[in-house]
Amino acid sequence: MVAIIVHGGAGTIKNEEKIPKAIKGVREAVLAGWKELKRGSALDAVEEAVKALEDNPIFNAGTGSVLTLDGRIEMDAAIMRGKTLEAGAVASIWGIKNPISVARKVMEKTDHVLLVGEGALKFARIMGFDEYDPITEERREQWKKLREKLLKEGTIPYWKKISELIKEHPEVLRSTVGAVAFDGEEVVAGTSTGGVFLKMFGRVGDTPIIGAGTYANELAGASCTGLGEVAIKLSLAKTAVDFVRLGLSAQKASEAAIEMATKYFGKDTMGIIMVDREGNVGFAKNTKHMSVAYLKDGMNEPFAGI
């Protein structure tokens, strides 16, 4: 039994005209991953699915990533193999098209797990990744409006003010893409994000932190989306996989993980997708929206919804 599931980020899509585009985007991504999965590789499937999401400007990863407080892009990504526990990640990287592919190179070509900032960018160039500007005009206009609103009192904003902004403009929270796949031999999980709009320069969320936003072992894999600080504090991806170790299915483990996030940090904070070694998929959220698509043996067409 092989299976793959993808997500396009948890949060609120304020402009409902974008909902069909988000559903179409995750459907295309899961089909891109499925093509590789049928060739036998969960690793290739996850990379290709996440690349499809990174290349779609409607999502907050790769092209279309949101901007930091000072108007830059700082992207994060991670990928992990459940069979060997190999993992690679990059954080606060810019100037490239597909952070998930750089993360895979970190896993395969170095003895490290996480490279950040200038070091991650230098490594990407050594690995042959070309210069690329992921900023879209839509994101730049959103940044200008939100930054002006945040700074109107003339004070330096911190998370308390950004939290207030998120309440007023919930679409700010929508972030992160990810995929989890099982090829009959191993589970692989991958996640990529542009972060949260107007984040402090240098802020790193849960995505590249193994166990927080991304995790896979011999039992299951998970990719988280939402407010990164919540997933970090709960080690949410690893916690969800541990629930599978305790006997829960991927779906029940996903629900239990989100119940935990809601208990400690409230609603509108998190979403998660999972696949276990039986080929079961699972997903849950405590936000209004989370675009999801999955496909597994026995299905003629992918499920795609929000």
Q: How far apart are CA 283 and CA 5, in angstroms?
A: 9
136 is in an annotated binding site: no
Note the pLDDT of residue 169.
52
Report whether pLDDT(111) > 90. Answer: yes
H/E run at residue 47: helix 42-54
Query: What sign does the CA torsion over 196, 199, 202, 205 have?
Result: negative
Task: Say if 83 falls within a structural domain.
Answer: yes
Question: What pLDDT, in 10s, does the model give residues 39-72?
Answer: 999 999 999 999 999 999 999 999 988 888 778 8
Minimum mean pLDDT among 107-121, 151-165, 199-213: which range?
151-165
Q: Could you give the 3-state DSSP secondary structure of residue 124?
A: helix
Q: State the chain's mean pLDDT as an integer.
A: 90
Q: Which sequence positions are flagged as catalytic?
A: 176
Q: How far apart are CA 285 and CA 291, in angstroms?
A: 10
CB-based contact 284:240 (threshold 8 Å) = no
Which tokens is 173 given? 């929270």
User: Look-up: residue for tokens 């849960």?
Assistant: 206
If one counts the domains in the chain, the total is: 1
Q: Phi first, then psi: what are they for 104, rounded to 5°?
A: -65, -40
209: domain CATH number?
3.60.20.30
User: Look-up: residue for tokens 């990719």?
Assistant: 223
Task: Say if 302 falls within a structural domain.
Answer: no
Q: pTM value?
A: 0.91
Domain that includes residue 12, residue range: 3-293
Task: Say if 301 falls within a structural domain.
Answer: no
Q: How far apart are CA 89 and CA 114, in angstroms?
A: 5
Residue among 10, 49, 48 nearest 196 (CA): 10
Report whether pLDDT(259) > 70. Answer: yes
Report whether pLDDT(156) > 60. Answer: no
282 is in an annotated binding site: no
Task: Say if 303 falls within a structural domain.
Answer: no
Q: How far apart are CA 238 and CA 224, in angstroms?
A: 10
Report whether pLDDT(213) > 90. Answer: yes
Task: Say if 226 falls within a structural domain.
Answer: yes
Bridge partner list, 215: 222
71 is in an annotated binding site: no
Question: What pLDDT, in 10s, does the model give residues 18-40?
Answer: 899 999 999 999 999 999 999 99
Q: Which amino acid type is present at position 281?
A: V
221 is in an annotated binding site: no
Q: Phi first, then psi: what are they for 190, rounded to 5°?
A: -145, 145
Side-chain-facing half-sphere of 303: CA atoms under 13 Å: 17
